[in-house]
Amino acid sequence: MYYLAILFPNLLKDRRLPFTRDQVMLLVVAINEFFLGVDHYLAHMISGTIRMEELSPIILGPVVGIFLIIAIVIAEKNRLLASIIATIPLLASIAMGIYGWYLHIDRTVISGAPVGQQITIHTIVWGVPIIAPLTASFIGCLGISAAWREEPADSGRLVLAGKTRLQLPFSKTRAYFFLIALGTLACLISSVLDHARTNFVNPWLWFPYVAGLFSVMCCILLGVINRPSRGDLVAYTTGMFILILIGLAGTILHVESVLDASGGHWVIERFIRGAPFLAPALFADMGILGLIALLDPTEGIKRNKTPETNPVR
């Protein structure tokens, strides 16, 4: 179902965008992979040196992004080949995220400590970010969802090689909603752990948590509801725009805090060791991905259908 056409029936009636939802989603995933490489570089430069296992995600992000751009370019002529080209590096991104998560957990555990004291609130808050590496896995899962064609739209049936089909328990649209809910929740948890270092002295820090939880619930409910009403879509869209505003405001505030700490000067060292200025942008990223999920799910000549012809499972 073309949710955006339900939101704006007069504007989008009998009109279709020149690109598909999966193309846009895969492009945003590619951009995310490039930024993941930058984010990993800044995070691992805190120690002053980058070890070999820390170098891998820095390199992998841009490499995956390049492969995804290639897949997008050739998708119109050979969708199967494009899907394969996109899937292999995305699987590597998922594996890298899980491996990085394992390494961060290993560094969080205090070896030799008594049972029950090996992991404490202090080590979780002040240690390495235990959720951050899973961002690569999340982006990988989202990219794989976009890489394979669903036919018919909203059927949950992915077209593989030849006549092979893979039936999913729910449609790709609903899968997007659930994935975005999971990604937003991960952003919330990471934000809480980061801000716990400040003892939440700023009361405005609680606003993104409340707004973020609202957005998570909107994503989950829209994934569960079989045929959402226009009011449901309005609430969901509002949540996504709130996430974008939170991300932009948080990024500005983090940059200002870094500049204040350096006397108003742009000091690279401060950006590496100060408030992570890219972290709040993840909220905006989730909001953008959530809005993309509302685009037309159909592809090819079937995109000429009216919004009501595609049933939702």
- Number of helices (H) and strands (E), helices first, in the chain? 12, 2
Q: Which residues on adjacent β-strands are paired with residue 158?
A: 150, 166
Q: What DSSP line would sit under 267-298, residue for residue?
A: -HHHHHHSS-TTSTHHHHHHHHHHHHTTS---
Number of neighbouring beta carbons within 10 Å of residue 310? 19
With residues binned 3-state (H G I as helix, E B as strand, rest as coil), the percentages for the chain, rounded to 5, are 70, 0, 30
Check: CB of residue 184 under 8 Å from CB of residue 301: no
Task: Please report where in the chains the tokens 């064609």 appear, as a residue.
Answer: 149
- Angle between the 52-74 and 21-44 helix axes, to the nearest 10 degrees? 160
**pLDDT tens digit at each of 313 positions of the chain:** 678 878 877 765 556 667 788 999 999 999 999 988 888 777 777 666 677 777 888 889 999 999 999 999 998 888 899 999 999 999 999 999 999 888 888 888 776 667 666 677 777 777 777 888 888 999 999 999 999 988 888 888 888 877 788 888 888 999 999 999 999 998 898 888 887 877 777 777 788 888 889 999 999 999 998 888 889 999 999 999 999 999 898 888 877 776 665 565 555 555 555 566 677 888 999 999 999 999 888 876 444 444 444 444 4
Separation CA 161–CA 170 (nearest Å) = 21
Q: Retrieve residue 265's tokens.
A: 């000067």
pTM: 0.83
Distance of CA 46 to the CA centre of its chain: 24
Q: Would you call 1 helix, strand, or coil by DSSP?
A: coil
Number of neighbouring beta carbons within 10 Å of residue 220? 17
Beta strands 157-159 and 165-167, pairing class: antiparallel
